[in-house]
């Protein structure tokens, strides 16, 4: 699966006229830039990425903010319920378009 995704991504970059080496350079730049704001990231609540952002349709930035606020309010053990409530509210409101 991972190999086919890599091949697909490479083909998509080629089709739209992007050089994968240039994209990799930008990626390396932003990886270094992230070290500047790392002290402000919520690594106490989130140690890595989380695939359930797709299940709950919560963009990454909103996810980390929601998680941080939940922990700040003492709801860390109920975060699964908080995400479920987010998903239900999204459905009730007509599957709102979200951007990250």
Q: Which CATH number fits the domain that encloses residue 62?
A: 1.10.472.90
Containing structural domain, residue 13: 1-39
Q: Let me know whether 74 and 35 are in one domain.
A: no
Digit-coded pLDDT (tens) for 8-57? 455 665 667 767 677 777 777 877 887 887 777 665 566 666 677 777 78
Residues 70, 25: Cα–Cα separation, whole Å: 36
Q: Let me know whether 35 and 45 are in one domain.
A: no
Residues 96, 84: Cα–Cα separation, whole Å: 15
DSSP 8-class letter at 47: S
Q: How many domains does the chain have?
A: 2
Q: Who wins on pLDDT, 67 or 42?
A: 67
Q: Let me know whether 31 and 57 are in one domain.
A: no
Q: Let me know whether 12 and 32 are in one domain.
A: yes
Q: Let me know whether 55 and 15 are in one domain.
A: no
Find the mean pLDDT for residues 69-82.
91
- The CA–CA distances, whole Å, from 73 to 24, 76, 77 equal 39, 8, 11
* pTM for this model (two decimals): 0.53
């Amino acid at each position: 699966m991972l190999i086919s995704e890599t091949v697909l991504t490479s083909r998509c970059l080629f089709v739209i006229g992007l050089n994968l080496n240039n994209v990799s350079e930008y990626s390396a730049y932003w990886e270094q830039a992230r070290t500047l704001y790392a002290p402000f990231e919520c690594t106490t609540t989130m140690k890595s990425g989380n695939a359930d952002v797709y299940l709950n349709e919560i963009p990454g930035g909103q996810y980390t903010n929601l998680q941080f606020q939940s922990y700040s309010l003492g709801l860390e053990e109920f975060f699964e319920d908080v995400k479920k409530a987010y998903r239900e509210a999204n459905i009730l409101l007509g599957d709102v378009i979200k951007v990250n």
